[in-house]
């Protein structure tokens, strides 16, 4: 029985699958997928999530706008957000963190790194 719900927002199907595969290793976690920011907002409106993982560069609504919208949403304003960035240190990452993201993972992503970060934010032993 899953104890935590995680929303993965990523436009690349390949990357999404990679993230879902990594997160499947955390047994207490149920993962929901969204293809972009708008789809992410739709999924957020339909459910309750304990964690959001979002890419920054996405069509229609990018990760930065999504972070901003989530932080202004009463229902999910306190939900931890992990952003996935291309660069090790960029303005986008700094901006996302200033908008309220809790952590970041730089590409190319590694499953152990994702798992560790998620466990840390959800306080899963």
Positions in the binding site for other proteins (CB under 8 A)? 12-15, 17-18, 21-22, 86-89, 106-112
Which backbone phi and psi does 118 adopt, to 5 degrees? -65, -45
Closer CB to other proteins, 47 or 112, in the complex: 112
- Residue 18 Cβ vs other proteins, minimum distance, rounded to whole Å: 5
Closer CB to other proteins, 38 or 106, in the complex: 106
Closer CB to other proteins, 20 or 122, in the complex: 20
- Residue 109 Cβ vs other proteins, minimum distance, rounded to whole Å: 8
Question: What token pair was written down for 43?
Answer: 């999924």
CA separation (Å) from 36 to 65, 93, 124? Answer: 11, 18, 27
- Residue 67 Cβ vs other proteins, minimum distance, rounded to whole Å: 20
Closer CB to other proteins, 72 or 113, in the complex: 113
Task: Using only the alpha carbons of the chain, give its radius of gyration.
Answer: 13
- Residue 121 Cβ vs other proteins, minimum distance, rounded to whole Å: 19
Residue 22 CA to residue 36 CA, distance in Å, equals 19
Q: How many CA atoms lie within 13 A of 31 on its CB side?
A: 21
Q: Which residues sit opposite 84 in a β-bridge? A: 55, 105
């Amino acid at each position: 029985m899953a104890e935590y719900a995680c929303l993965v927002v990523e436009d690349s199907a390949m990357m999404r699958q990679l993230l879902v595969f990594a997160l499947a290793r955390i047994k207490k976690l149920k993962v929901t997928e969204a293809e972009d920011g708008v789809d992410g907002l739709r999924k957020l409106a339909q459910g309750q999530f304990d964690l959001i993982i979002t890419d920054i560069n996405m069509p229609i609504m990018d990760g930065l706008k999504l972070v901003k919208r989530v932080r202004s949403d009463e229902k999910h304003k306190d939900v931890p957000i992990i952003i996935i960035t291309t660069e090790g240190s960029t303005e986008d990452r700094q901006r996302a963190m200033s908008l309220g993201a809790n952590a970041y993972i730089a590409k190319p992503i590694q499953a152990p790194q994702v798992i560790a970060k998620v466990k840390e934010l959800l306080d899963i032993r």
